[in-house]
Amino acid sequence: MTFRYLGSKSRLIDQIVDHMPPPKDGAFFVDAFCGTGVVAEAAAKLGWNVRINDNLYSAVISAGARLISKKQAAFKRLGGYESAVYRLNNAPPKKGFIWREYSPASYDFCGIERRYFTETNAARIDAMRDLIAEWRDSGSIDELEERLLIADLFGALNRVANIAGTFGCFLSKWTTQSQGEIAVRCRELKEKTVRVEAVVGDVFDVPNRSQDVVYLDPPYTKRQYASYYHILETLAIGDRPEVEGVAGLRPWKELASDFCYKTRALKALSNLVNSLKAEKILLSYSSEGHISMPDMKVELSKAGKSTMYPLGSIGRYRPNKVASETASEVSEFLVVVERVKEREADFRPKKSISADGLVGSFA
């Protein structure tokens, strides 16, 4: 099986786009749990400035790479993008951290034979990651070019990883793909440069203003992304952490998400929605997630007018039906929350209607 990103909206993107408002001057589409960045990419295509945020550095790198334009990734000092990728693919293998921890070589170091990558591929990943770091340190590439190459390296290693979709564990038997030779490929870069702000951090700290649209796609199961994508995170950061257990996990608990706990998810969502300044919020969720639809409805109605739209096959054929009518069949849905504008909120009766029927005055 090949790599997959849990909860990616690539399958549903066309239907999510149907609910995106047109871009506003100076405002941002904030993809606050950006993951792969497929939603931010679609918003950018509509003409939005985008802000991508995730608490995983690897996710922000992957999402950001989707938005890079030809002009931004000229690789002038290396003779162009293709030449940089050619050099990466030809870097002599190095027995480094990935080889030591995530290939069968690990047996000699920790007594566990980890089969994420063949020894040859692992040593080539080490060589490529080191070369990217060298280029960055010497000024041969800038930060955007560095991020693009790291994202391209993710693509290459995902094609040869011996996993069942995520890096939560490796397979005991080698797959055919994992025996292939790792190779980085150039991606199609964007023609136009988009204004992108990339933030690595907790969703509660993501900058947003009233005119922005915030898209929320929180985790909805107990699967913690920081542990499921630990190897990508290590490559993104470029460190050499103490790893442990059969899977060789880097320390990840600091990045554990409240949205992955059934007992905390509803409160976390409610606090998050109430802390945002944006007047329009789009929220993706699943009817199989920790938060039940009735509970979510109650919480979101406190924040403003909310409408639920079923997505997937049901949504495609009956786009205007609210999810509540079809809840038993729906699995993915999108909630559009429109907050009461502050001006309107201030527009409340200064005095309430009195018992004798006198209407109170308005500000």
Ligand X SMILES: C[S@@+](CC[C@H](N)C(=O)[O-])C[C@H]1O[C@@H](n2cnc3c(N)ncnc32)[C@H](O)[C@@H]1O
Q: What is the nearest approach in angstroms of ligand X to the Cβ of residue 363?
A: 38
Tell me whether residue 141 or residue 265 sits nearer to ligand X (CB atom): 265
User: Would you say 64 and 147 are in contact if contact means Cβ atoms under 8 Å apart?
Assistant: yes
Tell me whether residue 154 or residue 259 sits nearer to ligand X (CB atom): 259
Nearest to 152 by CA among 47, 64, 267, 262: 64
Tell me whether residue 31 or residue 126 sits nearer to ligand X (CB atom): 31
Bridge partners (DSSP) listed for residue 306: 337
* DSSP conformational letter for 361: P
Asked if residue 38 binds ligand X (CB under 6 A), the reply is yes
Mark 316-351 as b/e (b = at least 16 C-beta within 10 Å): eeeeeeebeebeeebebbbbbbebeeeeeeeeeeee
Q: Figure out which of the listed residues 3, 28, 33, 285 binds ligand X, where binding follows CB under 6 A.
A: 33
Give the range of 114-122, 156-164, 212-220, 343-351 binding ligand X by CB under 6 A: 212-220
Q: What is the nearest approach in angstroms of ligand X to the Cβ of residue 289?
A: 10
Considering only residues 8 to 27 of the shown chain, the ones binding ligand X according to CB under 6 A are 8-9
How many residues of this chain interact with ligand X, rule: CB under 6 A?
Answer: 21
Give the range of 18-26, 211-219, 274-282, 346-354 binding ligand X by CB under 6 A: 211-219
Nearest to 278 by CA among 257, 303, 308: 303
Q: Figure out which of the listed residues 116, 259, 285, 333 binds ligand X, where binding follows CB under 6 A.
A: 259
β-pairing verdict for 28-31 and 332-339:
unpaired
**Helical pair 293-303 and 265-275, crossing angle rounded to 10 deg:** 20
Bridge partners (DSSP) listed for residue 213: 29, 280
Asked if residue 225 binds ligand X (CB under 6 A), the reply is yes
Q: Figure out which of the listed residues 219, 248, 310, 315 binds ligand X, where binding follows CB under 6 A.
A: 219
Q: What is the nearest approach in angstroms of ligand X to the Cβ of residue 28?
A: 16
Cα radius of gyration rounded to whole Å, the chain: 23
Q: What is the nearest approach in angstroms of ligand X to the Cβ of residue 35?
A: 3
Helix, strand, coil percentages, rounded to 5, for the chain: 40, 15, 45
In the chain the beta strands, taken as DSSP E runs, fall at 28-31, 49-54, 196-200, 213-216, 280-286, 304-310, 332-339
Nearest to 332 by CA among 286, 267, 281: 286
Q: What is the nearest approach in angstroms of ligand X to the Cβ of residue 266?
A: 15
Tell me whether residue 100 or residue 250 sits nearer to ligand X (CB atom): 250
* DSSP conformational letter for 170: B
The pair of structure tokens assigned to 307 is 């409408």
Asked if residue 217 binds ligand X (CB under 6 A), the reply is yes
User: Would you say 81 and 73 are in contact if contact means Cβ atoms under 8 Å apart?
Assistant: yes
Q: What is the nearest approach in angstroms of ligand X to the Cβ of residue 14?
A: 13
Q: Figure out which of the listed residues 20, 43, 44, 56 binds ligand X, where binding follows CB under 6 A.
A: 56
Tell me whether residue 57 or residue 75 sits nearer to ligand X (CB atom): 57
Asked if residue 36 binds ligand X (CB under 6 A), the reply is yes
Give the range of 6-14, 287-295, 324-332, 346-354 binding ligand X by CB under 6 A: 6-14
Q: What's the number of CA atoms in the CB half-sphere (13 Å) around residue 84?
A: 29
Tell me whether residue 121 or residue 257 sits nearer to ligand X (CB atom): 257
Give the range of 140-148, 173-181, 188-196, 216-224 binding ligand X by CB under 6 A: 216-224
Nearest to 51 by CA among 239, 229, 196, 168: 196
Q: What is the nearest approach in angstroms of ligand X to the Cβ of residue 235?
A: 15
Asked if residue 39 binds ligand X (CB under 6 A), the reply is yes
Asked if residue 289 binds ligand X (CB under 6 A), the reply is no
User: Would you say 279 and 306 are in contact if contact means Cβ atoms under 8 Å apart?
Assistant: no
Asked if residue 145 binds ligand X (CB under 6 A), the reply is no
The pair of structure tokens assigned to 18 is 């149907």
Q: Figure out which of the listed residues 52, 91, 148, 203 binds ligand X, where binding follows CB under 6 A.
A: 203
Residues that bind ligand X in the complex, under the rule CB under 6 A: 5, 7-9, 33, 35-36, 38-39, 54-56, 59, 202-203, 217-219, 225, 257, 259
